[in-house]
Amino acid sequence: MPKRLDLKKILIIGSGPIVIGQACEFDYSGTQACKALKEEGYEVVLVNSNPATIMTDPEVADRTYVEPITPEVVIKILEKERPDAILPTLGGQTGLNTAVAVADTGILDELGIEMIGASPEVIHKAEDREKFRAAMENIGLRIPRSAIVRSVEEAVAAVKDIGFPIIVRPSFTLGGSGGGIAYNMDELKSICQQGLDLSMIHEVMLEESVIGWKEFELEVMRDAKDNVVIICSIENVDPMGVHTGDSITVAPAQTLSDKEYQYLRDASLAIIREIGVETGGSNIQFAVNPENGDVVVIEMNPRVSRSSALASKATGFPIAKIAAKLAIGYTLDEIPNDITRETMASFEPTIDYCVVKIPRWTFEKFQEAQDLLTTSMKSVGETMAIGRTFRESLQKGLRSLEIGRFGLGFDGKDPWDKGIIPDMDEIESKLRVPNSKRIFYIPYALERGMSIKEVSKITGIDPWFIFQIDKIRQKGNKVRQKGKEALDDLFQIKREGFSDRQIAYLTDMTEEEIRDLRFEKNIKPVYKLVDTCAAEFEAYTPYYYSSYESESESRRSNRKKVMILGGGPNRIGQGIEFDYCCVHASFALREEGIESIMVNSNPETVSTDYDTSDKLYFEPLTLEDVLHIVDTEQPDGVIVQFGGQTPLNLAVPLKKAGVKIIGTSPESIDMAEDRESFQKMLKKLGLKQPANDTAFTLEEALKIASKIGYPIVVRPSYVLGGRAMRIVHDEEGLRQFMEEAVEVSEGHPVLIDKYLQDAIEIDVDAISDGKLTIIGGIMEHVEEAGIHSGDSACVLPPHRIGKDMIEQIKDATRKMAKELHVIGLMNVQYAVKDDELYVLEVNPRASRTVPFVSKATGIPLAKLATKVMIGKSLEELGLTQDPEVTHVSVKESVFPFRKFPGVDIILGPEMKSTGEVMGIDQSVGMAFAKSQFAVGLELPTSGTAFLSIKKGDKESLLETARTLEKEGFKIIATSGTAEFLLNHGVDCQKVLKVSEGRPNIIDMMKNGQIDLVINTPSGKKRTLTDAYRLRRTAMELNIPYFTTVAGAKAAVEAIVALKKEDMDVKPLQEYY
Amino acid sequence: MKALIALEDGRIFEGRSFTGPGEVSGELVFNTSMTGYQEILTDPSYKGQIVTMTYPLIGNYGVTPEDEESLGIHLSAFVVREYEEDYSNWRATGDLGSYLKRHGILGIEQVDTRAITRHIRLAGAMKAVISTEDLDEVSLVKKAKDSPGLVDADLATLVTCKRPYVWERGKILELDDVSPDRLSRLESAEQASFRIAIIDCGLKFNQLRLFAKRGCQCVVFPATVQAEQLLACEPSGIFLSNGPGDPAAVHHVIETVKELVGKRPIFGICLGHQILSLALGAKTYKLKFGHRGGNQPVKDLSTGKIEITAQNHGFAVDEASLPSGVEVTHINLNDNTVEGISHRDIPAFSVQYHPENAPGPHDSEYLFDRFVKLMS
């Protein structure tokens, strides 16, 4: 069927901010879809609140609404744009849920808008557990025994039939959040309550536990003519019980014979047909009993997903792009396969390598969180590795994770390398209870003599994977035993996926020596293609992975070429923003006619889409792997300043190895990082910084602290995202910090700064060509200095500091750019206190805020910076003036607290947010209001506000309380705050704290009597306090809450704005 | 144990044997299926071929008698990137290496199988020799050149059954007496509405299983069977199985089929399809490197539907040579070659691919229903 001509304009709903369970894979999918539809001549309207996405670049869609993804806003957009159709299947669960909510209002029928891809009925059938159950029974498939309950009481009754352990799964949530496994009645009640609260429809499914069963996923596609194909099968190494997003997974399935695989394939075909997904892709999950092959269907997602992104990268088959084309009426046999060109999309990819995906967790960011993996996803990113064997891929994947490991052990980081041999009890418990380190404990167990069968039994991991891990262990031991003699067999060692770092450690040599030896013996990896067809057809898309084989398929061209090093797996502090910059670098190179070569290991990203760059190397970002690619490609330059800390850490070693780094020199980057030279520079330029010093030892630190005076900000140098950064108020805190810091930043000093209380923090992104420096954007943080800049909300342009100060900031920025010889991007953080400007930090590289500034101003900073780096001047590029904007953009952060029970939600100098949204409007109040809606908080315009404010903040918030009163809010407060307010003429009612008896504030919150919470924390020991429970409850009940003075003020300003005017929507294309 | 693979065009690949010493020649081909190695090993169509698996890890789930498609292994040698001795699957009864050894088949691993695949894609399927005994490249290349090859080789006669048999309770029951009377007294006749006479050119058991499931009694004859012998069992239809080698070389079967056309409904698969086409007057030709795998898209021209099919053939029917009265019913969407034909007036049709799968997708089992309908 040719494409539909009755459709002209199509709305795509994005997935919003990056959260756990919904990350940049939906930017990858959405960008593909927008491009595909535009290519076909459709007018594409997009809504997505996430400014760090490629899809919200003004040239990707025709009309780009960076607005909150709520049903109300989407309806406004529909009324304004009158599209012919909505495509809801590309924006993750957010896109799907929002589309369904919109459809349920009846507006689509009213406006004559069609939902393409999946209809509301289909989505309900797939998502509503009861309907799904019935559908599965219809086609003779079994799903685990289960019951739908809408209250804890019903759950208690239902468990009698189902039995413990029992899985609790809330309907309609993100990434299975709120779910869990209950082993007893108490747990059932508490998990159930949480699930009910989280479910959009207040519904929870209880399910027979199939914990320990093998878990498989199939990616299915269907077209309008009912042709169905399977794109990829994925086997979870971790069995049922661990969320698939937290499982190490392998593609294709390894332990199924054809009969069993075909059974799952048949079932998948039947499911997509029975559910009735008209066109597009679906992800179907199965559990298989390892004892007898019994199969149960776990779930089906009638949309593109994290797994479909992984499947696309694992096979080379662009699921989202094809899904978009199917949605507009094409059939699979009408869409060409880009990779082979001569064949069509109506086939099933076959692969001739082994793909391993490993999740990246950040438990270290949340002290109180337990490192436990359950059915609720906790990882924030992932890495994918491709190799010719499982062992090669696993080891590549582990070294791609950037957790300081260089493979599966044998890298000097195993406990016994430090003389510690874990005892059997510890090993057993680490194996039994899934956790982020489990994979490393498997070799420990084997080393201690546990049998493969026993390891498999305890972990539930299929013996096949344990066999493979054991082979790695045996090989490593052999090399260790033989020492340098083992190097005669170097090729075979490399074939097992061992990195030079591991081999060097085992043979007591240096990484460089091993590399030299290999190059001498000509033991280098070859590059093979990912081509969807196992070489049956010629491939035209240069998408490579390395392996130790006989024949390389990489062909170096004669064109001028630049290599871009990506950011690796997403983590808190290094996420989509950096990938955005890398993608822009690639686009810029293409525009300049230079061949772009992307290196990255993150399957979720746009940067690893095979058509983003001229060449894609899906490889770990370690020195060894990058040098191999350099050796093959001989690029004219390498860009390290866009991918975040990962490539920056490689800058100096790469340069040492003779690689040409373009843009700001590694020395300049180093100079900005190095305290002493940085201080010298500031002195020279007449700029101030807060009193500070560096310490290597506790004694030094204590001395410095007493000199500077508490409070102080302490942090290890050379880390991103404020890892382990803290505000310390006294000696005890400092002692505690120093203990941990030494581990985080080996060999680098600890930095100590005077903490500037109540200062306004400013972020500046600038671009320089070495002569001219343009200030791309000045952002004023909403929260005070001391809250990590990645967590703080910020406003562009600033509105609390004066014109003179802005000039002073611009001037300081220009001076520093010149002094550091910046070629490319630079980010500066300032603090303004008592009309004095302090420089906090300078980073001569891309920052997290580059995409936000670009969206706010319309200036593509990263793209321009790339062109500057390859020799263009800003004048040539037409950027000679600092951009000025009349509208206001607010960036707000989103946090994963909900995923980590027991963690306090207050902010500090260590970054905790996973993503961001942008609110854009004419006034600060409205822009801030939009940003709050976009993060999922519904600011009330009436009702009851609860205030509990610490001593020092009471004065500052008095005006805010008055405003709330004036706007008709009823105010209630805890005793101290209430007294203060009453004394100052604000009418309010006193309420009990938890420790004061009942009914207390938490009861009121649970009863829905509170609409807004303002609580500034006192900084005391956190989790035990009343305040902690209060904040946690507010978050769990999704009551808007603010924990800083500035945040509360901004929120109330936003409420005023909302009461004054209607929220209006406007596409980016109309802002500039 | 080191092994060399020498191709007739002089290219050499290195590997090691995981089944002990040996030397063998054959046509070197590749298969892109990611699962189903045991079914491939036991598919008689691979007679005379050295099969390279493009999927690198082979042996993962072991072997089981349940997955055998014939009584033996017919291919010449098996080439993989990595043999997995340690297997895991609840149905497995043993490892692949021992299974190959038991059947005396050479298995080679640690080979850059992707390099082989690319070479064959560019240069075509060709004769090759694998040896662990003679590691002299020049000598091996010569041996490869001198080996017989597949063109004009009647391999079907080598793999066909020796005596007629009936598929009884999922097993072979050899019979000397295949008279209608005898056949109707068998258990397989009890549930059956139809009797199918099968010419075995190298059939796969799953064909019999799928017929039996549809209420057909399967009577299997050696490829040398005469038309009247076959008709004597009073079949409702005739099935021409798959098999190895050059279809044009199986003259005797083509002649037999010529006699049968029009007498009973006929259904052919793979070699059976080529034989039916030849019997109807069409021509066949050798493909450059053939289709072998489980992901080949085929379009049913009558419905427009696409099925993902299992395929295993090196020859194809030439569309231009099809006589009037015969129409193309299915085409391959990758290269538009003929995948199925049907006669307009005579009840006879056939497909080039393997609707019985094993291994491969089950999309095309409807063809068995179509044949049953044709017999009704």
pLDDT in tens, A779-822: 999 988 888 999 999 999 999 999 999 999 999 999 999 999 99
Q: Does the interface predicted TM-score (ipTM) exceed 0.90? A: yes
Q: Please list every residue in chain A whose beta carbon sits closer than 8 Å to the beta carbon of residue B34.
A: 252, 350-351
pLDDT confidence tier of residue A743, bands split at 50, 70 and 90: low
Alpha helices by DSSP H, listed for A343-437, are: 390-400, 424-432
A873 touches chain B (CB under 8 A): no
As a whole number, mean pLDDT of residues A461-472 equals: 98
Q: What is the amino acid identity at position A780?
A: E
Measured N-to-C along each axis, helices A452-459 and A463-482 cross at an angle, to the nearest 10 degrees, of 130
Average pLDDT over residues A387-395: 98
pLDDT band for position B170 (50/70/90)? Answer: very high
Please tell me which residue of chain A has the smallest CA distance to B63.
A257
Q: What are the pLDDT digits (tens) for A594-606? A: 999 999 999 999 9
**Cα-atom radius of gyration of chain B, to the nearest Å?**
20
Element (H, E) at A207: strand A204-208
Confidence at residue A727, expressed as pLDDT on a 0 to 100 scale: 84
Tell me whether residue B249 is exposed, middle or buried, using C-beta atoms within 10 angstroms of its C-beta: 0 to 12, 13 to 18, 19 or more: middle
Nearest chain B residue to A231, by CA? B295
Question: In this predicted model, which residue has the larger pLDDT, A211 or A775?
Answer: A775
E strand or H helix at A960: helix A954-966
- Amino acid sitting at position A284: I
Q: Which residue is it, tokens 């209870």? A: A433
User: Which of A167-171, A438-442, A1056-1060 has the lowest average pLDDT?
Assistant: A167-171
d(CA B312, CA B352) in angstroms, rounded, equals 9
Are A243 and A377 in contact by the 8 Å Cβ rule? The answer is yes
| % of chain B beyond a pLDDT of 90 | 98
Each residue's pLDDT tens digit, A688-719: 999 988 888 888 899 999 999 999 988 877 65
Res A676: pLDDT: 84
A467 touches chain B (CB under 8 A): yes
Q: Contact at 8 Å (CB) between A933 and A890?
A: no
Q: How many CB atoms lie within 10 A of CB A757?
A: 12
Which residues sit opposite B315 in a β-bridge? B286
Q: How far apart are CA A932 and CA A924, in angstroms?
A: 12
Q: CA-CA distance, A601 to A316, in Å (whole number)? A: 15
Residue A45 CA from chain centroid, whole number: 25
pLDDT for position A287: 97
For B67, name the nearest residue in chain A, comparing CA atoms only: A259
Evaluated on CA atoms A443, A448, A449, A455, the torsion sign reads negative
Kindly compute the dihedral angle of the four CA atoms of residues A359, A56, A38, A537, in this order, to the nearest 10 degrees.
-20
Short-list B79, B58, B60, B59, CA closest to B16? B79
* Cα–Cα distance for residue pair B247/A471, rounded to 1 Å: 46
Q: Is the CB of B296 inside 8 Å of chain A's CB atoms?
A: yes
Inform me whether the pLDDT recorded for A1023 exceeds 50. Answer: no
- The predicted-structure confidence for A312-327, as pLDDT tens digits, reads as follows 999 999 999 999 999 9
Using CA atoms, how far apart are residues A90 and A472, in angstroms rounded to an integer? Answer: 39
- A226–B305 C-beta distance less than 8 A: yes
Q: How confident is the model at residue A367 (pLDDT cuts 50, 70, 90)?
A: confident
Residues in B touching A254 (Cβ below 8 Å): 57, 60
Residues 6+ apart with CB under 8 A from B257: B199, B240, B266, B275, B276, B279
Higher pLDDT, A22 or A951: A22
Instruction: Say if A555 is an interface residue toward chain B (CB within 8 Å).
Output: no
Both structure tokens of B231: 């008709």
Within 13 Å and on the Cβ side, how many CA atoms surround A143?
24
Kindly state the helix (H) or strand (E) to which residue A327 belongs, with its residue range. helix A319-327
Q: Does residue A1024 have a pLDDT over 60?
A: no
Contact B114 A352 (CB under 8 A): yes
Dist. CA B254–CA B161, nearest whole Å: 18
Average pLDDT, chain A: 93
Measured distance CA(B35)–CA(B57) in Å, rounded: 10
**A681, containing H or E segment:** helix A675-685
Q: How far apart are CA A439 and CA A403, in angstroms?
A: 13
pLDDT, residue A721, reads: 55
Contacts of A266 in chain B (CB under 8 A): 362
Q: Is A222 helix (H, G, I), strand (E, B) or coil?
A: strand
Residue with tokens 């924006």: A91
Amino acid sitting at position A315: T
Structure confidence at residue A525 (pLDDT): 98
What pLDDT band is residue A728 in, cutting at 50, 70 and 90?
confident
Model confidence at A1020, in pLDDT bands (50, 70, 90)? low
**SS3 of residue B366 by DSSP:** helix
| pLDDT category of residue A485 using cuts at 50, 70 and 90 | very high
Query: What is the per-residue pLDDT for A722?
Result: 58
CA A853 – CA A858 distance, rounded (Å): 8
The structure tokens listed for A745 are 């930043």
Which has the closest alpha carbon to B250: B350, B154, B352?
B154
Mutate which: B95, B295, B299, B301, vs A, most A CBs within 10 A: B295
Q: Which residue of B has its CA nearest to A270?
A: B363
Q: What is the DSSP string of A34-95?
A: HHHHHHTT-EEEEE---TT-STTSTTTSSEEE-S--SHHHHHHHHHHH--SEEE-SSSHHHH
Mean pLDDT over B65-92 rounds to 97
Q: In chain B, what residues touch A225 (CB-CB under 8 Å)?
A: 304-306
Q: Which residues lie closer than 8 Å to A426 by C-beta, 6 or more apart?
A: none
Cα–Cα separations (whole angstroms), residue B237 to B233, B278, B337, B347? 11, 19, 27, 10
Is residue A262 within 8 A of residue A295, CB to CB? The reply is no
Q: How many CB pairs under 8 A join A and B?
A: 158
The pLDDT value given to residue A200:
65
Chain A within 8 Å of B15 (Cβ-Cβ)?
no
Average pLDDT score over residue span A336-343: 90
Specify the higher pLDDT residue, A300 or A751.
Answer: A300
pLDDT at A175 over 50: no
**What percentage of chain A reaches a pLDDT higher than 90?**
80
Q: Is B84 on the interface with A (CB under 8 A)?
A: yes
Helix runs in chain B, H state only: 37-41, 96-102, 113-123, 137-146, 156-159, 180-184, 187-190, 205-213, 227-231, 251-260, 271-279, 366-375
Residues of B involved in catalysis? 270, 354, 356
Please tell me the pTM assigned to this model: 0.95
**CB-side exposure of A848: number of CA atoms within 13 Å?**
30
Distances (CA, A) of A739 to A698, A855, A910: 8, 41, 17
Q: pLDDT digit string (tens) for A878-923? A: 999 999 999 999 999 999 998 887 788 888 888 999 999 999 999 9
Token digits for B327?
A: 């129409």
Out of B60, B334, B359, the one facing A255 most closely (by C-beta) is: B60
Q: In angstroms, what separates the C-alpha of B269 from chain A's closest C-alpha?
A: 21
Q: Is B240 helix (H, G, I), strand (E, B) or coil?
A: strand
A572-615 pLDDT per residue, tens: 999 999 999 999 999 999 999 999 999 999 999 999 999 999 99
Contact (CB<8Å) A258/B114? no
Average pLDDT over residues A500-507: 97
Whether pLDDT at A88 is above 80: yes
Which chain B residues touch A551 with a CB distance below 8 Å? 112, 114-115, 118
- What are A710's two structure tokens? 């508490």
Flag whether pLDDT at A751 surpasses 80.
yes
Residue of A nearest to B14 (CA): A550
Q: Give the integer Cα–Cα distance in Å for B271 and B47.
A: 13
The Cα of A873 is separated from the nearest Cα of chain B by a number of Å equal to 46
Query: What is the spatial distance between Cα A560 and Cα A935, in angstroms, rounded to a whole number?
Result: 43
pLDDT of residue A99 exceeding 80: yes
> Coil, helix or strand for A926?
helix
* pLDDT at residue A1022 in the model: 46
> Is the pLDDT score of A549 beyond 50?
yes
Model pLDDT, residue A516: 97
